[in-house]
Amino acid sequence: MNSRYSRQLLFKQIGETGQNRLSAAVVAIIGCGALGSAIAETLVRAGVGTIHLADRDYVELSNIQRQQLFTEQDAEEMLPKVVAAEKRLKSINSNITLHTYLQNVDHLLIEDLAVRVDIILDATDNFETRLLINDAAYKHNIPWIYGACVGSSGVIFPFRPKQTACFRCLLPVLPTVNETCDTVGIISPAVQITAATQCAEALKLLSGNEKAVRTKVHHFDCWNNTFLNIGISKVKKETCETCSKHATFPSLERDQQSQFAVLCGRDAVQVLPSKGRKVTLEDAEKLTKSLNAFKRRTPYFVEFEREQYRMLLFGDGRLLIHGVKDVNLGRKLYTETFG
């Protein structure tokens, strides 16, 4: 280990004690797109012992510009991101333990992870999932590190139960932009800076250097050469549903989660199976063949087309409908196909 991590050991703030802490650490990364792939590779190279990596999507050619774990072959094969990531990460560091989850991150999965890990890193693209992470982290008293980027800018903050206001408190004051990757795009340096800053905060916490952790929200724009650090000590709400004395953690309730969602950067609607109902890959293959809509089946999904829309049904029962940004149209297409 000393040879592999020799340069990191020389960094006195980590040293041998910190490196041993990293080796024993357990981390969850929620999302394996641009931020998630950069975070996962950095932590694997740093020697973090156990990583749980969750993502619901597959690799497309447009991902490769900024999602560093993936290749053209991954996109051609439409490999799930966690599958492609696992292959690459294990080739980088065969000593780490890696658990992958090809599924939508819901209240059940996030709570299961929260009781097993030391820290959660946010690499998602929507507020609903971040509120889930926030509630689970504060309920189980573990830190999580928020990160978001678009265009040439990014925002990072380490949320720590009992020490900082939570994400729900900050929603009205976080630096926001109405643009998305769909409307204004994104450059890879913005991703790398955001992910690197998140990883720096994670390494501080995991190696026992809590005093070095950021206490202000950091916002940067690497194209316009600006940055801003925003204090949040005064925004904590005494009535907050997540971090107050009377917390109820509403995002962890099943009925708070939408069955239909538009995916950022995807031009697609995701449909989650309703409670007690799940369409299997076998069901989907049989049905779509009878409709002359079947295209192919992989170990991970069935691909088919209906009314010029490309659809993928995954093994966990989720359906992605491509070419749709209207949830109501997505609901109609799902009902017409599966009843």
Task: Name the amino acid, one letter, at 211.
Answer: K
Q: What is the DSSP letter of 151?
A: B
Domain boundaries, the chain: 6-252, 259-338
As assigned by CATH, the class of the 6-252 domain is alpha beta
The CATH code belonging to domain 259-338 is 3.30.310.10
pLDDT in tens for each of the 339 residues of the chain? 569 999 999 999 999 999 999 999 999 999 999 999 999 999 999 999 999 999 999 999 999 999 999 999 999 999 999 999 999 999 999 999 999 999 999 999 999 999 999 999 999 988 889 999 999 999 999 999 999 999 999 999 999 999 999 999 988 655 554 566 666 789 999 999 999 999 999 999 999 999 999 999 999 999 999 999 999 888 888 999 999 999 999 999 865 556 777 776 667 888 887 766 678 899 899 999 998 999 999 999 999 998 889 999 999 888 899 988 888 888 888 888 877
Query: Do residues 161 and 120 lie in contact, with contact meaning Cβ atoms separated by under 8 Å?
Result: no
CB atoms within 10 A of CB 54: 25
pTM of the entire structure? 0.91
* CA dihedral (60, 66, 68, 69) positive or negative: negative
Structural tokens at position 63: 């991902």
* Burial environment of residue 59 by CB neighbours within 10 A (0 to 12, 13 to 18, 19 or more): buried
In this predicted structure, what is the pLDDT of residue 177?
A: 45
- For the residues of 249-273, what is the DSSP string, one character each? -GGGSGGGS-SEEEETTTTEEEEPP
- For the residues of 291-316, what is the DSSP string, one character each? TT-EEEE-SSEEEEEETTEEEEEETT
Q: In what order do the strands lie in the sheet with 309-314?
A: 260-263, 268-271, 319-322, 309-314, 301-306, 294-297
Beta bridge partners of 158: 145
Number of helices (H), then strands (E), belonging to the chain: the values are 12, 14
